[in-house]
Amino acid sequence: MNNKIVQIEINDNDEPLIDIPGDFLCVPMYFKQGLANGSSMKLREGLVEKLLKAKRQLPNGWDFMIWDGFRPLSVQDKLYKGLWDLRIEENPDWNEERLKEEVGKFVAHPSFDKTCPSPHNTGGAVDLTIVDRNGEELPMGTYFDEFHERSYGDYFDLKPGLEEERSGEFQKNRILLRGLLAEEGFAPYKWEWWHFSFGDRDWANHHGEEVAIYGSKEL
């Protein structure tokens, strides 16, 4: 987390975490992977309301598929250590500083300091995509949690017509997802096309806000 974000004050508005309603297609990915103890998925109430507004702009029968929302630190810790070990295996010559930088692009360090919360631990970050009326995911160029530069939010914007024949389609679909959520005030995340936030410090930094309204809901 960069110094600018760390300096943003947090003044939690005490908005509750609520179960993500059945209006969305929920797929609790980390429960399915055996990393989470339960299948329930939660987000801040205000964030859910904004997602409902964004969904109304989708074509009839389309939906948001949500993979993750509020994330306990126990799950965050497993994800971080898992990617850390994978990166060491793939790049044995990387030093600790390089490892922290590269792992941190995709999985935030599990912070047990409530003044510096992990984004998903606030309930203000959500991982999602769009599905069509047949329940099929729009092709985005990568799978969820594909820890590769192709997952960078602007990858296909910057490199149209790349090696993938369908790069233009991937770019169009990512722009659609970003645009729908941007209209409701969400902030995108540079390294993951599927990650968006509202109310946390990443959101505050993106929009030039001095104060974040969501802090950790666990600490």
pLDDT tier at 167 (50, 70, 90 boundaries)?
confident
Distance CA 92, CA 86 (A): 10
Q: Which class in CATH covers the domain with range 3-212?
A: alpha beta
Report whether pLDDT(160) > 70.
no
Report whether pLDDT(138) > 80.
yes
Q: Is there a contact between 19 and 40 (Cβ–Cβ < 8 Å)?
A: yes
At residue 34, the 3 state secondary structure works out as coil
Could you read off the pLDDT of 180-194 as tens digits, one per residue?
Answer: 999 999 999 999 999
- Alpha carbon of 11 to those of 62, 205, 209: distances in Å? 35, 14, 12
Could you read off the pLDDT of 96-129 as tens digits, one per residue?
Answer: 999 999 999 999 999 999 999 999 999 999 999 9
Could you read off the pLDDT of 26-52 as tens digits, one per residue?
Answer: 999 999 999 999 999 999 999 999 999
Partner residues linked to 197 by β-bridges: 125, 187
Structure tokens at 7: 């300096």
- Alpha carbon of 110 to those of 113, 156, 163: distances in Å? 9, 30, 35
Could you read off the pLDDT of 169-180 as tens digits, one per residue?
Answer: 999 999 999 999
Closest listed residue to residue 187, CA positions, set 195, 17, 12, 65: 195
Q: Is there a contact between 121 and 70 (Cβ–Cβ < 8 Å)?
A: yes
* Mean pLDDT rounded to a whole number for the chain: 95
- Sketch the domain layout of the chain as residue ranges: 3-212
Span 45-72, mean pLDDT? 98
- pLDDT for 161: 55
Distance CA 160, CA 168 (A): 6
- pLDDT for 159: 64
- pLDDT for 18: 98
